[in-house]
Structure 1
Amino acid sequence: MGPKAFVKEYWRILVLVLFVGAALFALFVPGGVFGDTTLVEGEDPEAEDTPTNLVYGLGLEGGSRISAPVAGMTADDVESVADAETGEVDHDRIQEIEAGLHEDLEPGAANLSVVLHDDGWISVEIYDDDTTEAEFAEALNNQGLEVDEDDVRPGVTAETRAAIIETIQTMINEAGLSGGTAYEQQDPLGGSYVVTEVPDMGPDQLEELLSDRGVVEVWAYYPDGNGSHTNETVLSGDDITDVDPPQPDQQGPGYVVPVQVSEDAAWDYQDRMNELQFTSVGQHQCGLGYDEDGTVDFDHSDDQDRYCLITVADGEPVAAHSMGPDLASSMSQGTWAESPTFQMGSQNIEQANSLAVSLRAGALPAPLDFTQSQTYSIQPALADQFKFYSLLIGALSILTVAGMVFLRYRNPKVAVPMILTASTEVVILLGFAALIKMPLDLSHVAGFIAVVGTGVDDLVIIADEVMDDGDVSSSRVFESRFRKAFWIIGAAAATTIIALSPLAVLSLGDLRGFAIITILGVLIGVLITRPAYGDILQRLLTDR
């Protein structure tokens, strides 16, 4: 038999072997299919020393889950800023509204947002606890927007929630928290919650991570000409395009985070530093100290002029540095903006890592309301027990099913391929989970056990159908009976998928993981393992 004939004859079995081989590769080869063995910054190297490439969730790894709504108020669809004929958006109007609201309400720069929807309408959000709904509505009316106090609702827009989830997920990845995830969940009353799950982290640590919005700025602190000092924001996190790992400060204690500034912001920053004399008389003229809580102390009793570049994280000045001669020289000559890199200061490595993560992930568009949060945590030691019991229960389920199959058929030609084929479904599913780095939890384990049960049920239907009248020595008879059995299991699979699809789509916690694994198992069975089992059984029971 030539290669082409061999492939044509055994293609269903070869497909099964191919998928099993790929699954084993994804499971056990370091780095998996994509070959990525690089550790994320801050990740423990010993955490990679595991027998498989599987990633575990809270139930099997330990960790915390926090579900919290987004703090804020929103006035939805207050005005259309798109031309009715051309669809062109009036961005000047958006900026006019933002500037007017900032003047009336005086919130922080990161505490107010005008959200532009796809249909050209805008919604306005504010995240300032000091502003009431009545004050918010009045400020909107001052900008020519017809908004009543009843039109202001708690919460934020769907666009902002999606941006928050994306930022948290990036924050988790940048912090090296393998297996962590963030998603949105709806409650029965229509409220929306942002859910964050991180393995191997306590609830207090996770809340602290999420409490830091990641708003990073650089302030220029300089004499105002009246015998005192003032400060202004000269760079924000949005102006940073690239961030290098933290490193020790070569000019003194502490650490620095090397960053690269965007081209547009670089020229403005360079011009402003020259205007404020940071590049001339301001060199090495900072000298600010630190309070006991680690923030910059702006109190100084002498008459010396101070020129400081202040690193600010979430509104807290955490480091103050003078401008060095090299940076000052390149800015005064106008060449720095051509290759705009500089260093943001921090006092310790933890603070430096936090700065780097915030700069890479970006700032949370709005804060989370932890006064209404729900917290769930599990200790790693208990999770290890669950992991062992899950493996034990999985092995017992396979052995129990194998025993029942042997008692039912008492024919190794039927029973052994049946058990092996059912086991390959679990192997393929585990390989898929390792490939996409799906954090496995107890709900997924329940799905694996359900897959074994439903898989063997379908294989029993195939075996019973083809052996119904005893003699199956004819390949034609076997294929006729197999097609009939396959229609039965195909209809059953469709019913299962339809029934579980709502659970897989809706945000219903652990039920979603169970539904996803079960649906994937059913699809793998119908498309790969059931046809392969039919081919194996045909070659063992017929004259072919």
Structure 2
Amino acid sequence: MGPISFIKEYWRILLLVTFVAGALVALFIPGGIMADDSLVEDDEIDDNPTNIEYGLGLDGGTRISAPVIGMTAEDIDAGAVNEEDGSVDRERLTEIENTLYDNDEFELETGDARVSVDDSGNVHAEIFDPDVTEAQFAAALGEAGVDVDPDDIRNGVTEETRNQIIETIDSRINAAGLSGGSVYDSARLGGEYYIVTEVPDMDPDELRELLSERGIVEVVAYHPDENGTQQNETVLTGADIATVDPPEPDERGSGYVVPVAVDSNAAPGYQDRMNELGFTGEGVQQCSLRGDGETIEFDHEGEEYCLLTVVDGEVVDAHSMGPSLASNMADGSWANDPSFQMGAQTQPQAQSLSVNLQSGAMPATLDFSQDETYSLSPALADQFKLYSLLIGALSVLTVSGMVFLRYRDIRVASPMVVTAMAEVVILLGFAALIRMPLDLSHVAGFIAVVGTGVDDLIIIADEVMDDGDVNSQRVFESRFRKAFWIIGAAAATTIIAMSPLAVLSLGDLRGFAIITILGVLIGVLITRPAYGDILQRLMTDK
């Protein structure tokens, strides 16, 4: 038999062998097939001989779900979008946003208001301050020439804002060196959305602290005006920072610094403003403000030229302009290599500053008064991992024993058990390949796949052995096709039933449904046909 004839004859079995081999590579070869070894710590490789990642239920950690604080006036008539060509008047959007900040009814902090246009050309206005009422919001929009009924303002934020929050939290988790974390939104009844954050090996207080920071970073120039009165002026924001290096101790004194590089578009303006305010002249090294590690004391008599590092409205450090930096700014050369250091009094503040600069500011904060928290210690997770392995092994032994008791024919039972186990191996390999963290819900799905898979194989065996042993290939194939139609219909029913659970954000039920659907598809497309081929060659004369 030539190679081509061999492949045509045994292609179903060869397909099964290929998938199992690929799964084993994804499971046990360091880095798997498409993974990046640089993302895996050495101690993680030592602790876990496979490439499987574990979720909170098997690795420990915390999950926090919380809604976003904010209200939205959707699809407002702002006169900012040209109906003919779809062009957007950005100045009009800025005008409306400035009116929200400058109104007399309430006072907003930086970043608490936003006016944006979505992909469909609809204008939305959002406020992220929980103390503002719908009536006040509508009145402020009215001052900007936008007529909005307070009853049309809904709680919650736009999809664009939610996506930005998810991206920011995900970047913040990565910047903090936390591997295996995930962030997504979850729809609730009534149309409300929760932001769900899962981070392994972190307690609830640490994760809540990480999520509670808005992360709005500013460099504020604290300087005297022509009358000698001290003034504050924001000269840089986190959006103007291009790159961030890890925190390091301040060589010029106590505290820590975070080396940063300013965006090339913002650097010339910052340099010019420092020259105009006198920081590069009489203000060089003219900052005597000091703190106690928590706050900065602003009680002073003389004039001060300080660059304040402000995070979420709190001053975390005050630095003077150094002679070298001032000289480069004075002669205009600094803008060609725009780097400097932002200060912090303590190492945690410096680390938080670095993380916020790398991830960017969150458009809105989460409402922790309505949060849902799930936490599991690593020690208990290790027990669950062991128990899951024991339950899986027990289910395999139980199924194998029942199959042998039923058929008492090793030609029928052995391929059945091997094929069912191959299905689980392929599923594990797929999970390792896509870096899907396995949780207790997935373990339940694997057990369900073993049970339903063996059920289908029993249907095949019973159908082809309906009238005793079958020696004719033609009779075998006829009976196999009949059995395959039965298990195909059952598979379709299972997929239809599980699809809503896989699509909707229903927590652990989603993981169970995804594994079950994948197992059914692998069974119908790969393992069931392969078992039929194996059984045919063992039971017929061919």
For the aligned pair, the TM-score class normalised by the smaller chain equals: over 0.9
Query: Bigger CA drift: 390-399 or 428-437?
Result: 428-437
Tell whether 2:481 aligns with 1:480.
no
> C-alpha separation between the residues in 2 aligned to 1:299 and 1:472?
98
> C-alpha separation between the residues in 2 aligned to 1:499 and 1:67?
27
Structure 2 match to 1:127? 128
1:288-327 equivalence runs, <5 A: 288-292=289-293, 294-300=294-300, 302-303=301-302, 305-327=303-325
> C-alpha separation between the residues in 2 aligned to 1:174 and 1:11?
47
| Secondary structure at 1:320 match in 2 | strand
How far is 1:129 from its partner? 3.4
> C-alpha separation between the residues in 1 aligned to 2:10 and 2:346?
63
Contact 1:216 1:358 in 2 (8 A): yes
Structure 1 match to 2:249? 248
| Counterpart residue identity of residue 511, structure 1 | L
Structure 2 match to 1:204? 205
| Counterpart residue identity of residue 174, structure 1 | A
Structure 2 match to 1:331? 329
How far is 1:299 from its partner? 2.4
| Secondary structure at 2:342 match in 1 | strand
Q: 1:154 to 1:281 in 2, by over 3 A?
A: same
| Counterpart residue identity of residue 131, structure 1 | V
1:107-506 equivalence runs, <5 A: 107-292=108-293, 294-300=294-300, 302-303=301-302, 305-506=303-504
What TM-score results when the alignment is normalised by the length of structure 2?
0.94
How far is 1:496 from its partner? 0.6
> C-alpha separation between the residues in 2 aligned to 1:495 and 1:418?
23
1:46 to 43, 48, 55: 43
How far is 1:380 from its partner? 2.2
Contact 2:93 2:116 in 1 (8 A): no
Aligned length: 538
What TM-score results when the alignment is normalised by the length of structure 1?
0.94
How far is 1:447 from its partner? 0.6
Q: 1:417 to 1:318 in 2, by over 3 A?
A: same
| Counterpart residue identity of residue 397, structure 1 | S
Contact 2:184 2:196 in 1 (8 A): yes
Structure 2 match to 1:89? 88
How far is 1:117 from its partner? 2.1
Query: Bigger CA drift: 85-94 or 12-21?
Result: 12-21
Question: 4+ runs of 1 displaced by more than 4 Å?
Answer: none
Contact 1:39 1:45 in 2 (8 A): no
Structure 1 match to 2:74? 76
How far is 1:457 from its partner? 1.1
> C-alpha separation between the residues in 2 aligned to 1:442 and 1:7?
39
Q: 1:298 to 1:45 in 2, by over 3 A?
A: farther
Q: 1:84 to 1:464 in 2, by over 3 A?
A: same
| Counterpart residue identity of residue 96, structure 1 | E
How far is 1:157 from its partner? 1.8
Give CA-to-partner distance per residue, 1:376-424, whole Å, 9 cap, x none: 2222222222111111111111111111111111111221111111111
Give CA-to-partner distance per residue, 1:136-159, whole Å, 9 cap, x none: 211111111111322222222222
> C-alpha separation between the residues in 2 aligned to 1:31 and 1:217?
40
Structure 2 match to 1:7? 7
Q: 1:12 to 1:196 in 2, by over 3 A?
A: same
Q: 1:250 to 1:28 in 2, by over 3 A?
A: farther
Give CA-to-partner distance per residue, 1:236-277, whole Å, 9 cap, x none: 121222222333333333332222222211121121122122
Q: 1:212 to 1:88 in 2, by over 3 A?
A: same
| Secondary structure at 1:364 match in 2 | coil
> C-alpha separation between the residues in 2 aligned to 1:418 and 1:75?
60
Give CA-to-partner distance per residue, 1:20-64, whole Å, 9 cap, x none: 222222222232223422248xxx753443222222222112222
Contact 2:134 2:150 in 1 (8 A): yes
> C-alpha separation between the residues in 1 aligned to 2:297 and 2:410?
80
Q: Percent identity?
A: 67
Give CA-to-partner distance per residue, 1:417-464, whole Å, 9 cap, x none: 111111111111112212222222111111111111111111111222
| Secondary structure at 2:37 match in 1 | coil
Tell whether 2:539 aligns with 1:538.
no
Q: 1:146 to 1:283 in 2, by over 3 A?
A: same
Structure 2 match to 1:520? 518
| Counterpart residue identity of residue 119, structure 1 | S
Q: 1:107 to 1:283 in 2, by over 3 A?
A: same
Q: 1:129 to 1:499 in 2, by over 3 A?
A: closer
Q: 1:47 to 1:353 in 2, by over 3 A?
A: farther
> C-alpha separation between the residues in 2 aligned to 1:404 and 1:353?
58
Contact 1:55 1:178 in 2 (8 A): no
Query: Bigger CA drift: 333-342 or 62-71?
Result: 333-342
2:505 to 507, 512, 524: 507
Query: Bigger CA drift: 205-214 or 481-490?
Result: 481-490
| Secondary structure at 2:265 match in 1 | helix
Q: 1:389 to 1:462 in 2, by over 3 A?
A: same
